[in-house]
Amino acid sequence: MGKPTGFLEYQRVESNNRSVADRTRDYLEFHQELSLETTRQQAARCMDCGVSFCHAATMVEGESIGCPLANVIPEINDLVYRGIYTAAYQRLRMTHPFPEFTSRVCPALCEGSCTLGEHEMPVTIKEIERFLDGYAVDNELLVAKTSARRSGKKVAVVGSGPAGLACAYELNQLGEEVTVFERADRAGGLLMYGIPNMKLDKTIVQRRIDIMQQEGVHFEFNAEVGVNVPLSRLQSEFDAIVLCGGATKPRNISVPGSDLSGVVPAVDYLSDATRQLIHDQGEYSAKFDAQGKHVVVIGGGDTGTDCVATAIRQGAASVVQLEIMPEAALQRQPGNPWPLWPRVKKTDYGQLEALEIFGGDPREYLTTVEEITGDDSGKVCAVNTVRVDWQKIDNRMTPVPVTGSEQTRPADLVLVAMGFIGPEPTLLDTLGLDADARGNIQTIASSYQTSRSTVFSAGDMRRGQSLVVWAIMEGRDAAQQVHTFLVG
């Protein structure tokens, strides 16, 4: 450890984002980096804690502890404090193929398990990781890395989200010939079309795709297996198939009026906004626009926040975000001890923007939609909501409507951000694969292998809706399983 007393000398410092007035006029990344000296001081706060939970990469009672990728964070922080930045980046890349993604969109599970965070503010691990990515770019460390060994085996990876990209990257480095099939017009999955540009600039995603192509990974776009790419082709041309299509089936809202025009799945809305941004007007015609509209976002979480922020940038007249759950506490509660992820209230960038622009937090807790109403043309014009009280009924916590709390709200655009319920059935049906109780692809215990020996699966398609960092971990580890299966 570089500075034994660092955690006593320095307080946590977070970077200043671009001002709300400035950043809401465009879709550029709003995050600004710390100075070099401040970054080194933040790395110096890393403690010689003996057992470092920040990189435990384990689950306890269904909850994550530490970084799923097992990045050796104390070593990396020590190298950054000492100013040995190239070695720090190389140490990070030993376990992590894509730090440019997680340093922007990961909630930082590592920080939730930081030992210093038990009593003080945790180390700014995510900020340091982002610094290293920027350092690698500035010093030409982020270059194509080709593998001299080739196994002669061919693998098809279906889906190019974080799991698919990680799997393809690792398989290519291990010596397999990899082809990635992506049904969209470009690679990245939710990294490209699900996460707004102000959080993850699409040039960064494309930069990684370009490097992977230079390294020998093949991509086929507008290629949907089971639709315009026959399964027979994959079976005849490839020695193994890895399904990384994600959990892309959205959870719908089952209330009267949910089929009205203007009631839109959140990811469809976010994808459309990104397509408008990265395509020329002649190439793509916008489907949705919040300009001048009253927007109601149903659901919390990162996707709901992204909808709030995107609607603000499109010039919404108002934005309301409805959450059926109660408002979280500001501090850890007794049932949520360290080193578990802290379930505390988080006011993210979208809510902060709404606070400044509209004068209030857009979130309304303990509120659900009873009905969506439309005008004579079939377009949404209002939502009817009611407050709820969570009560234990038949040993289950159930939201019970509060009589007299009904309210009608104007709504020209309703964005449903209620998560996903599993993968779309096309691939499962086409390949005849077994599914688990939740509808995800079932794999052999402690393996990524499906009920068909040459077919594997990783990411949300296998584990259900999760985080980008978990998808990268699954793709990386699945590649090792596939390589072992093919060449021993």
* Segment 24-83, tens digit of pLDDT: 999 999 999 999 999 999 999 998 788 899 999 988 878 889 999 999 999 999 999 999
Average pLDDT, integer, range 322-348: 94
Task: Determine the pLDDT at residue 1.
Answer: 65
Concatenated DSSP letters for 278-314?
A: HS-TTT-------TT-EEEEE--HHHHHHHHHHHHHT
Positive or negative torsion for Cα 466, 468, 469, 470: positive
**Which is the CATH superfamily of the domain at 252-418?**
FAD/NAD(P)-binding domain (3.50.50.60)
The overall average pLDDT reported for the chain is 94
**Model confidence at 128: pLDDT above 90:** yes
Examine residue 342 and say whether the peptide bond preceding it is cis (omega within 30 degrees of 0): no
Task: Determine the pLDDT at residue 421.
Answer: 87
Same fold, 6-138 and 252-418: no
Contact predicate 380/372, CB 8 Å:
yes
**Model confidence at 276: pLDDT above 90:** yes
Match domain 154-248+421-487 to its CATH number in 3.40.50.1220, 3.90.1150.10, 1.10.1740.10, 3.50.50.60: 3.50.50.60
- Strand, helix or coil for residue 382: strand
- Strand, helix or coil for residue 422: strand
- Which range is least confidently modeled, 277-286, 385-394, 447-456? 277-286
Average pLDDT, integer, range 202-215: 98
Average pLDDT, integer, range 161-169: 98
Instruction: Name residue 368's beta-bridge partners.
Output: 386
Task: Determine the pLDDT at residue 24.
Answer: 97
d(CA 285, CA 272): 9
**Model confidence at 371: pLDDT above 90:** yes
Q: What is the pTM of this model?
A: 0.95
Query: In the CATH scheme, what is the code of domain 6-138?
Result: 1.10.1060.10
CA 396, 397, 400: angle at the middle one, nearest 5? 120
Domain boundaries, the chain: 6-138, 154-248+421-487, 252-418
Contact predicate 24/310, CB 8 Å:
no
Gyration radius of the chain's alpha carbons: 23
d(CA 312, CA 308): 6
Q: With bands split at pLDDT 50, 70 and 90, how would you rate the model's confidence at 445?
A: confident
DSSP assignment letter at 7: H
Task: Determine the pLDDT at residue 458.
Answer: 97
Task: Determine the pLDDT at residue 219.
Answer: 98
Average pLDDT, integer, range 101-110: 96
Contact predicate 8/119, CB 8 Å:
no
The separation between CA 55 and the C-alpha centre of its own chain, rounded to angstroms, equals 19
Element (H or E) spanning 372, and its range?
strand 367-374
Q: With bands split at pLDDT 50, 70 and 90, how would you rate the model's confidence at 475?
A: very high
